[in-house]
Every structure is written in C-alpha cells, then in structure tokens.
Structure 1
Amino acid sequence: MASGGTGRDEDGRDERGGARTALAGLTTRGRSFLAAGVAAAVCAYVLGQPDLLRVGLLLAALPLVCTAVVYRTRYRVSGSRRLSPARVPAGGEARVHLRMDNVSRLPTGLLMLQDRVPYVLGPRPRFVLDRVEPGGRREVSYRVRSDLRGRYPLGPLQLRLNDPFGMCELTRSFSTYDTLTVIPRVEPLPPVRLGGEAKGYGDGRQRSLALAGEDDVIPRGYRYGDDLRRVHWRSTARYGELMVRREEQPRRARCTVLLDTRALAFRGAGPDSAFEWAVSAAASVLVHMLERGFSVRLLTDTGSSVPGEGADGFAGASQGSADSAGLMMDTLAVIDHSDGTGLSPAYDVLRGGDEGLLVAFLGELDEEQAAVAARMRRRSGGAVAFLLDGDGWGREPNAGPDPMNRTQERLRLLREAGWTALGVPRGAALDELWRRADGERSGAVTAGGGTSGRGAGS
C-alpha cells in the first residue's frame, strides 16, 4: 500500500515480526474463534473425541487463514489531502478533501478510511470505501471547526483492511500530514483619522541642504540598474566616480501594534477571555492598517516581532501585503502568554526610533508598568492605548462596577502622558472603541489648538 505523497511501498510486511504483526490484528471475534478452537482441541484430547478435535481445528484455523489472507494482500493505494482553506479564522469552518487512488492491478476489497484530527477540531472522521477498481479513484470530504486559534496537524491517514468474516483487521498508515492554521478573528474597522505621520523623505530620514542652485542635491554612488538620466555629472567630476541623484519618494506612514502577552496581566482562559479579545483586536488593527497602506509592525511585551519582518515592518498596499498579513496572522495564531513581568523590553525597542502611530493593547498594569507605558508615548507620532479592565473581565457581566477598580487611575496616567487611552470592559466591540478613540483624539487636538495633531493622518 503506497504512502500518499511519497510513493513508498507501505504493505507493512516484515519477515522477522510479520507473524506477530498479523496476529495482533485479530479482532474480538477472531480471538474468540481461536480460543474456542484451542479449548475444543484440548477437550477432544482429554476425552478422546476425534470429532470434537476436528471441530476445534476448524474453529482455530478459520481466524488464522483470514489473518494470512489479509496480511498477504498486496494492494497499492496512494492518498492525498487538500485543505480548503488552509488558514481559517477562529469559529470558521474548513473542508478537508481526501483522495484515494488504486495504483495496483488488482481491485481492492472493503476499506475503512480514517483521518487523525485533534479533538478540538471535532470527531475523528471515518469512511467506508467499497471495492475500488484498478486505476480507480475515490474522493470523500469532511469539515473541521475550532473556536481556539492555533496550528493543528491533520493526519496521518489510516486505512483498515478487513476480511469478509471480520476475523482480522490490519491498519496501514500513510506518512504525510498537513497543518490547519486557525487564526484570530478579524473584525472590519471603520476608516478614521488615526494615522502615523511620515517623518522624512527620500533615501534617508533627514535631508541635508546645500547652499543653493544645482548643488541642492544629495548624490550617491551609481548602482547597477540605475537610470543613466539620473547621473549627476558635476558630482561625478568632483568625486571621480559615477554619481546619481537620489529620487525623492515620500516615506510610508508607519504603525506599530503593541500586544501585551504577560500571563499576570490577564485573567481567565478560553475564546471569551480578555487575552483572546486582545489578540483578535491586534489582528484586526494590523489588517486594517495594512489595507490603508501603512508599514505595519507587530511588537510584544518581550520585544519580539514577526519573523521575517523588515526594519520598517511589513509594507501595506503592495503586491506582498497579503503575504505580510498571512505571516502576522500565523504568528498571532500561536502566540501565548509570556513569563515576563514588565513592558521594559518593548520600551527599549520603541525608544530606538520614531514608530509613527502606536496602538497598544494592554492588560492589567501596576504603577511601575503604567509609568513605563506612559514613557512610550514620547517616541510616537500618535499613541492609542486600549486597557483591558482586569476587574471587569474577571467578574460576571451583570455584577456591576467594582469600587476598587484601578483602571481609571491607569487611564488618567496614560492620558496625562499624551496617550489616547480607553478602557475595555468585558464584551466590548472593537469597532465602537475605534470610533471613540478617533473622537477623543480629535477632541484633544481641537482643545490643544492643533498642537497635538501630530500623526493624525488621513
């Protein structure tokens, strides 16, 4: 029996352990017949009854013959699996298509097809395939669904061979498996005026100006593929090598999404927990900003980012924006709580440069970590914080306000540092909070006479 995707013979025959493998495939019926046959043979020997001995031999021989026939079967079957889609949001369904091809010259008997799936995706699918003619094909499918994000292996595929009397059952496994990625839910967000302001133009962050006239150009060395019309001849004569003019292109607006993953900052677990809300919200903002053309960066409290991410993050509104979103969704699909106790690693990364718009999803903060989060605002063109109310998420929905809630004090500290800070109660809708953040930021800009409008892009 050939393994799907490898073409390797998987008939399972092993000269040293073949008999042991075959006998291990005896069903309850086969073992019962064998035991009854041995018992009858022993009784016939003790009682001296030759007829009973013949009955015992028949009972014992039937399961052994069935085992030998099933074990010597030389079917060669190839299998393949296809996921549609391979990346599905939490709560969504994916369909798994299985295809079996009989590549031998003999028809197969009755086959039971079984695929291994994790229990969170649903029950293990089983299919019964009738006789498959030589060169024939059978296709079946089943659906999987999970409310929990993550990566789940599907497979390997298993085939069970049975004899007509049900005495023996042997299982053959294929060697390949596939992976289903369950990503966080992404909510569509309304277009608002929150934005990250570009801080420079051209090839560098700052542009030095010469005195006047044609010398008001910053040349650079010629690179293979540069347009010869960009050659700056005066600089070429001055430096003795071919120099070209820099093309002025506006820098892309930037956005950093900070996700707090500290285990001590969140309470509860499961699809409706505060941490899962924060992960889903971060995914929604990342996709939204990519669609608007921002260079997007995902950062966690540990200072880590998405593998393969460039210095300026992933560029949006480009041919590879879908791939960029896929990489970030794959990262968020498996992200988990960290063992960290503070936000200092993320602050060290952010203070290295201007990050444009900063959107933070924070769990519970003590006074020290609230002060660290407040200092992050200094390097950002705009800063919006969504602070999950730990007391509110830990209580029942209708339990009322908690008089000891410290969230308001943390929000006040962040707002005094220049953040647009909002508390996130249990069951809050992200799109409504997104509009509120835009409204509060616009109000702060108007109240400040326009001096706080830094980073409020289109």
Structure 2
Amino acid sequence: MNARSRTGSWVVGARRTVVELSRRRRAWSGAVREALVARTSHARDVLAPITRTVTPAGWAVAVLAAVLLVAAPLLNWGELLVGGVFLALVEAIAVLFVVGRQPVAARLDLTRERVIVGERANGFLTVSNPTTRRSRPMVVEFPVGAGRAAFELPALEPGGEHEELFAIPTAQRAVLDVGPVTAVRTDPLALLRRERHLSRVDTLYIHPKTLRVEGSAAGLVRDLEGQTVPKVSDNDVAFHALRGYVPGDDRRHIHWKSSAKTGTLMVRQFEETRRSHLLTMISSRLEDYASDEEFELAISVAGSLGTQALADGQQMSAVSSLASLPARSAQQFLDGLSGLTYDWQARRLVEVARRLQGDEQAASVVVLCVGSEVTVTELRRARQHLPVDTRVIAARCVIGQEPSLRWLGDLAVATIGRLEELGVAVRRVAA
C-alpha cells in the first residue's frame, strides 16, 4: 500500500470516527434530556406562570436590579440605588404591555396531513377578530416540530380576517406537531412575553419513501387462504391421517366409523395450516448502522414490504428494537415508521428475536432490516431464536453497495444499496 492509499484510509477512518462520535453524542444528549424533563416536571408545572412570562432578558434585568438595590446601602453608593430603582421601574413598565386580553381567534388548516419525504406540505393560517372593537397589531406564532413560524399581523377591524400561506419543509422523515397558534404580547425591550393559545395542535406525518414491490406476495409469503406445511397437528382443518386414541385427546376428533371397524378408538390427525403473516424487524440501535442514510434505507425497505403485504390482504406485524409498531393498515404502519428514531435503550438483534411475543412468533416470513454494522454472526444467532419453520430474510442496507444475495443455511442475506434495488432482491430470494 502506497503513502497516498494509507493517507486516504486514515482520512476515511477519521471522518467515520467523527461521525460516529457525533451520532453517539446526539443519542446520549437525548437520553439525558428525557431524564431531566421527567425529574423536573412537577417543579416546572408550579413555576410555569412565571417562567413562561419572563424572558431571559427579563430575568437578567430583575436579578441585576435586586443586586443593585442590595449593594447600594451596603456600599453606601447612591448611584447603585438609582440604577436599581431604574431597572425595577423598567420591569414594572414592561408588565403594562403584557396585561389584557388578545381579542382574536385563529384557525390552522393543513392541506394534507400525510406527505412523503420531499413532497410539498402547505397550510393556511386564518386570524379573525370576532369582537366589536379594533384589535392591535400583534405577532402570531406556532411551532412546527422543533422550529417555529412567526407572522406579524396588522390591526384587524371588528369582524375582519387575515390569512397567511405557509410551507413546511419535508426533507426528512418525521412526525411534526404543527401548532397551537399563539398570540404573543411583549414589551419593546422583550423583558416579558405573554402567550395565549388560539387553536389546537395538528399533526403532520412525513412518511418514508416506499415503492411497490411486484411479486413480493407470491415470493415471500405463503398463500392467504392457508397452505399446509409438513407439521402434524391435533387440531386444524387439513385432514392427514388416523392414529390410536391417547388419554387426553379431544373426543370430538374421534373417528367413530374407523373405531367401530378396528375395535379400538381412532383419532383424526391434521396437517397444520397457516395464514400469510409477514413480520418486519427494524433495528433502531445506533450501533447497527454506519450512517443515518442506512437507517433511512432500512425503514424504507420495511415500509415497502409491509405496505405491499397489507395491500395484498395479508397479515402483517412490525417491531423495532424496543417496541411493536402499529400495522393494522398501511397508513397506520407508515405513521409509525415516520416517528421511528434511534433509541438509546435499543437491544441487540439477538435479544429482539429472543423476546418476540406469541403472535409475532407465528409469522410465516420474517424480514430483518438492519445496517452494515450487523455481522453475519449476529444474523445467524438471531435466526436460531426464530421458529424453524419460519422463512427468515435479512435485508442488510449498505449505501452504494451492489445488490447481492447470500444463503447461510436457511437464512437469506440480501444486500441492498438503494431502495430501487429492493425488487431485484425480492425476486432473487423468491427464485
């Protein structure tokens, strides 16, 4: 290896380390933030009327005024007393700007409540004055996810209305709370800020990109009406054979005609049948992915297979590394995927496979959607905890990788580099 190759490898390794540390920092800060919010919820509720009104600048002025008023007599310094009184008066005058009512009503309308990543999402904000007196100019705000939109409204005549059109960025998959619309009253120095909610909260679901996978129903999942499998059962639909009665057998399955001919009790046996049931397991563990793009690809793969199965009328279940995902309908399933993020408590793939519930264990096909950091050894160990008669497919999402298929016993490992290659992978597995 020449010097240039070694330098390039070192740069790539350093860049990957920086990205990994950044992603770990985000996961750790999210966990700490959740813990702090939970521990301080009661204290924040008690102090909310004050903390919601006084801004950081207002707190600074109030603290400085108190310090000056205390220090003035101790230091016998008249100028400090003047400064403290002046700041206290400024704070008191600011109160006059925020008292009173905001006599306006607002309505927030989203043109669409569900969009796909990259699609346009627009909305309308309508503010009206239902009173008999003219309203003052004001600022109206409403949160959009972690961001905030603000509009300066003119004075409204009695019965007047004002409408604003706004667009919401949809570059990333997310579940965004839009609203509530808030009328804001503040003083010229922004020491105090009083808010009044004018509307309810709307939710915008930004669904992951999905595509239609032709032939997935025929290739990956057994027939909807139930197809017999080579497993004998004592209670099913497809008749298989007769056997001798054993104490404890259900007497309803005794075949009386054969029993009369042979002189001994004979019991019916059946071949077990199953309805089509697809289970998608999506890893939400940060360490399983080399980049955020891999995580998004894994979610899109799971979303494409799941929505296709539901469209074909098959039973479908979905789980992440920590919890089950709603999957009664395609819309509900995509809504759940929209809010799926890394979880700092996420378990390893082997532990997720070990802790599946009864309904999920009954799946006829299991698709493991993982990233490039999940090793073949981990996939094999996870396969050992799934039922032997269940078809298991691992979809390893590796950005930029050429599509390929590898068989490890009865485990199919399909490598997918782009969402558009999912159909190729499905056809290879079904072949």
TM-score range relative to shorter protein: 0.5 to 0.7
The number of residues matched between the two structures is 310
Segments of 5+ residues of structure 1 without an aligned counterpart are 1-15, 26-60, 213-217, 220-249, 315-323, 402-406, 443-458
AA aligned opposite 1:254: H
**Which entry has the higher C-alpha Rg, 1 or 2?**
1
- Give the alignment partner of residue 136 of structure 1, picking from 160, 164, 187: 160
What corresponds to 1:107 in structure 2? 134
Q: TM-score, normalised by structure 2?
A: 0.58
Q: Distance in 1 between matches of 2:98 and 2:362?
A: 69
Residue 430 to residue 256, structure 1, CA distance change in 2 (3 Å): same
Aligned 1:351-370 pairs, distance under 5 A: 353-363=361-371, 364-366=373-375, 368-370=377-379
Residue 378 to residue 115, structure 1, CA distance change in 2 (3 Å): closer
AA aligned opposite 1:283: G
Give yes or no for the alignment of 1:153 onto 2:160: no
AA aligned opposite 1:437: V
- Give the alignment partner of residue 276 of structure 1, picking from 290, 296, 320: 296
Is the contact between residue 184 and residue 283 of structure 1 (CA under 8 Å) also seen in structure 2?
A: yes
What corresponds to 1:294 in structure 2? 314
Deviation at 1:142, TM superposition (A): 0.5
Deviation at 1:77, TM superposition (A): 1.2
Deviation at 1:353, TM superposition (A): 4.4
Q: Distance in 2 between matches of 1:154 and 1:367?
A: 43
AA aligned opposite 2:124: H
Aligned 1:6-85 pairs, distance under 5 A: 75-85=102-112
Give yes or no for the alignment of 1:207 onto 2:225: no
Residue 65 to residue 440, structure 1, CA distance change in 2 (3 Å): closer
Aligned 1:304-453 pairs, distance under 5 A: 304-307=323-326, 314=328, 324-338=329-343, 339-349=346-356, 353-363=361-371, 364-366=373-375, 368-375=377-384, 379-380=388-389, 382-389=391-398, 393=399, 412=406, 415-424=407-416, 428-442=417-431
CA RMSD of aligned residues (A): 4.5
User: Deviations 1:281-339 (Å, cap 9, x if unpaired)?
Assistant: 1111111111111111112344x3225x6xxxx3xxxxxxxxx2222222222222343
Q: Distance in 2 between matches of 1:126 and 1:211?
A: 74
What corresponds to 1:265 in structure 2? 288
Is the contact between residue 188 and residue 431 of structure 1 (CA under 8 Å) also seen in structure 2?
A: no
Is the contact between residue 277 and residue 365 of structure 2 (CA under 8 Å) also seen in structure 1?
A: yes
Q: Distance in 1 between matches of 2:368 and 2:100?
A: 62
Q: Distance in 2 between matches of 1:267 and 1:261?
A: 13
Residue 72 to residue 105, structure 1, CA distance change in 2 (3 Å): farther
Deviation at 1:365, TM superposition (A): 3.0
Give yes or no for the alignment of 1:173 onto 2:158: no
The answer to which structure has the higher helix fraction is 2
What corresponds to 2:80 in structure 1? none
Give yes or no for the alignment of 1:194 onto 2:219: yes
Q: TM-score, normalised by structure 1?
A: 0.55
Q: Distance in 2 between matches of 1:205 and 1:102?
A: 69
Segments of 5+ residues of structure 2 without an aligned counterpart are 1-48, 59-88, 229-233, 243-250, 253-272
AA aligned opposite 1:256: L
Residue 380 to residue 422, structure 1, CA distance change in 2 (3 Å): same
Deviation at 1:387, TM superposition (A): 1.7
Residue 418 to residue 71, structure 1, CA distance change in 2 (3 Å): closer
AA aligned opposite 1:357: V
